[in-house]
Amino acid sequence: EATGTFSDLQQRLNRKSVSPKIQQQYPAFMRCYDALQINGEDLRSLPFAERRKHLEAFVKTLDPSRFDLSPLVAFRDWETLERLRQAPPHPIIEGVMLKRWDSPYLAGRPKGPWFKWKRDPHTIDAVLMYAQRGHGKRSSFYSDYTFGVWSGPEGSEELVPVGKAYFGFTDEELREIDKYVRDTRFMPGRAVKAFERHFQHQ
């Protein structure tokens, strides 16, 4: 079973029309995790156990080639869940989502009823290639970063972009990195003092 990435999904987003070629190359599929409303009925105040029953019944009415239901993960203890978190059935899975059976669907990010337990991040040595100003409250900071790695045979390596990062750091770390970017003049072939930060890859 083929599994796409968020980058694949982005090929379908923000388009006025999607050509048959794009539809074939990047077919859309939805995995259902929770339900806020079904057939006009507001389910947000119901506990997750009840919302799940409604969702299971609703998904059965949908085209299985386009929709499926997120499986529940059974575990006996935290050690079992830890193994499942670190070794998911597919490498694209970031971790596990824990929800209390009695939790309503609340707006924002309330602490307590839900907990997203991600896998420990992998680390690489990368080069900061570009730094761009952010948006909203971070519009005055260089907070959007593009990283690259050296690739190719020795003597003719090329710097290849491999990813972006624009969250996963605290405001204090952002100010530190922003100052570093402003104080450093980046030039081809010039070595600069290295710094280490951990980012969430997007």
| pLDDT tens, residue by residue, 170-196 | 889 888 988 988 887 655 444 444 454
Between the alpha carbon of residue 89 and those of residues 82, 83, 92, 94, 202, the distances in Å are 13, 11, 9, 11, 20
Question: Using an 8 Å Cβ cutoff, are 128 and 147 in contact?
Answer: yes
| pLDDT tens, residue by residue, 76-135 | 899 999 988 888 887 778 888 999 999 999 988 778 899 988 888 778 888 888 888 888
Claim to verify: residue 23 and residue 92 sit in the same structural domain: yes
Split into its structural domains, the chain has a count of 2
Strand partners, 180: none
Claim to verify: residue 157 and residue 57 sit in the same structural domain: no
Claim to verify: residue 132 and residue 114 sit in the same structural domain: no
Claim to verify: residue 76 and residue 102 sit in the same structural domain: yes
pLDDT, position 99: 93
Count the neighbouring beta carbons within 10 Å of the beta carbon of residue 50.
15
Claim to verify: residue 35 and residue 55 sit in the same structural domain: yes
Over pLDDT 70: what percentage of the chain? 89
Q: Tokens 């077919």, residue?
A: 27
Claim to verify: residue 67 and residue 17 sit in the same structural domain: yes
pLDDT, position 185: 64
Confidence of residue 70 (pLDDT cuts 50, 70, 90): very high
In a domain, 195, yes or no: no
Claim to verify: residue 103 and residue 25 sit in the same structural domain: yes
- For residue 142, give its domain range: 127-183
In a domain, 200, yes or no: no
Claim to verify: residue 155 and residue 82 sit in the same structural domain: no
pLDDT, position 69: 94
Claim to verify: residue 16 and residue 84 sit in the same structural domain: yes
In a domain, 146, yes or no: yes
Instruction: Quote the DSSP letter at residue 138.
Output: G
Task: Answer with the residue of higher pLDDT: 15 or 191.
Answer: 15
Angle at 154 between CA 153 and CA 157, to 5 degrees: 70
Claim to verify: residue 59 and residue 110 sit in the same structural domain: yes
Claim to verify: residue 101 and residue 15 sit in the same structural domain: yes
Q: At a CB cut-off of 8 Å and minimum separation 6, what does 99 contact?
A: 34, 48, 113, 114
Whole-number Å distance between alpha carbons of 150 and 162: 10
The alpha-carbon radius of gyration of the chain (Å, integer) is 22
In a domain, 194, yes or no: no
In a domain, 111, yes or no: yes
In a domain, 67, yes or no: yes
The pTM assigned to this predicted structure is 0.62
